[in-house]
Amino acid sequence: MFLNNFAKFYARTNQFIRPKVSACPRKNVVILLKTDFCNITDKRACSHSSKTDNIASDYNNNGFEKSDSEPTISRRMQRRRRNKLEVESHKDITSDNSQTVIQTSGRRLRVSNPSTDSVRVKELQSAIDTMSARDISEETLDFPSDFEDYNKWKRDQSRRAYRPKVNPALTSILLFPGQGSQYIGMGKKLLPYHGVQEMYNKASAILGYDLLNLCLNGPQTELNRTVVCQPAVMVTSLAALEVLKATDPEALEQVVGTAGFSVGEYAALVSADVFSFEDAVEVVKIRAEAMQKLTEELASGMMTVFCNHQTRLNFAMEAAREHCKRNLQFPDPVCQTANYLCTDVKVIAGNMEALKFIEEHKSEFGIRRLKWLPVSGAFHTPLMKEAGKKLQQVLMKIELREPKIPVHSNVHGGRYRDTEQIRKCLSQQVYKAVKWEQILHILFSREKGENFPRVFEFGPSNQLGLLLKQTNTQAFNSYKNIEA
């Protein structure tokens, strides 16, 4: 079945190179060129040729046709297919007075009658050489099967949550909110704890203004500005972490994962000892200034979209972009998903005119409700690409350390592997969508009956807890918000 589907798929995309099959005195030989996969069978030489008899017979001049009985697939064949069919063929062709030997992928197979088979062996070698010379990056395609895609995702260890061999109920996961969670008075409850006042003082010295005063007294319009809001949310979140250190230090001894939403990812990296506190404040300051500058150059914004099964969100965003092109003469309008929050809730961002178009026609697109976010730009869209370039230059100068606890990236949802990946993803994060829903699925995927870890959210609000409740109600039962 796999070969049938595989051949039909490549035939449809005009990328399947039909192999040349020669009738061997003992057994047909089949080569699948397009996939860097070579299978040579000989009934007498191969001990399990009975399992592959049907493969050769399934091929004719029209391609692979379904046979009456499907071949039994060996474990070795399964391993090759799981590796995206990227099996490197090794050729070692030798001859003596009585036989010709073909070695493919470590298996030695004997083909008798060298006088009649030598031509065929040369043809096989030529075909394999042609196959190997092709650009593998252009040839390799994902097999169009949800089952195959799922297995690939499941095998990718960098995208799976850390699973220590301890009782999950004794472990912890740390979450840090992002921009939009700020409010006047945040941080007031944290001041009595050791080190909090000093953190605000250090941040104020780096930023050049009294951060704590803005957090406690506002005004709200100033606090909502990107250049103020981002460092304020990050510092307040890290100050809330000091509360857990003082009240429940054991919770920080078995942390199996941490993640932060947008700018909250910097707080997560500080908690994992990747950044020093001072370096994180400096980077977030530059990040906020670069993003603020871009928002002042172009009218843009963000809004939350509440959907249902009838919502045509992709169509709505495409219509909004087309409206800006035709009616407003925008050369390259932007309107796309910026945050994946949960199944029925997304945040879209882009040009203000495109967002207003969707707001005016929301009923036609089946949108239940819209809510504008208190931010001044279209973050996590291509409109912020220049900020990403600026951030990349800054991150190259900052010393980063390997994470002491697993940190999950907003860009791909998986765990960071090394500091180079951290630099790359943080610079991309400002203009790529935040995959928060995917992060929650990775962090809280559990077997049936398995306990869930304790979940702590640090910072000005409980927004991430509400998203967790929408995504995984069982995990939410262990959730706690460290109020700021």
Calpha distance 355→367 (Å, rounded): 13
172, 181, 204, 262: which is the annotated catalytic residue? 262
CB 437 within 8 A of CB 406: no
From first CA to last CA, the distance across the chain in angstroms is: 58
Cα dist from 457 to 19, 63, 318, 442, 454, whole Å: 58, 57, 35, 17, 10
Task: Assess whether 262 carries a catalytic annotation.
Answer: yes
Nearest to 109 by CA among 179, 171, 176, 38: 38
CB 39 within 8 A of CB 30: yes
181, 204, 237, 380: which is the annotated catalytic residue? 380
Task: Assess whether 48 carries a catalytic annotation.
Answer: no
CA 171 to chain centre: 24
Nearest to 30 by CA among 57, 12, 4, 66: 57
In the chain, DSSP finds a helix count (H) and a strand count (E) of 19, 15
What does the buried/exposed string (b/e) look like for 403-419 if buried means 16 or more CB atoms within 10 Å of the residue's CB?
bebbbbbbbbbbbbeeb
Q: At what angle do helices 146-155 and 75-82 cross, to 10 degrees?
A: 80
CB 342 within 8 A of CB 467: yes
String of DSSP letters for 140-199? ----S-HHHHHHHHHH-GGGS----SS-GGG-EEEEE--TT---TTTTGGGTTSTTHHHH
* DSSP reduced 3-state for 83: coil
Q: At what angle do helices 352-360 and 313-326 cross, to 10 degrees?
A: 120
Q: At what angle do helices 226-247 and 264-271 cross, to 10 degrees?
A: 30
CA 351 to chain centre: 26
CA 12 to chain centre: 29
Nearest to 73 by CA among 55, 47, 88, 57: 55
Calpha distance 322→185 (Å, rounded): 43
* Other beta carbons within 10 Å of 352: 13
What is the 8-class DSSP label of residue 413?
S
Backbone angles phi, psi at 345, to 5 degrees: -130, 125
Calpha distance 16→80 (Å, rounded): 18
* Active site residue ranges: 262, 380
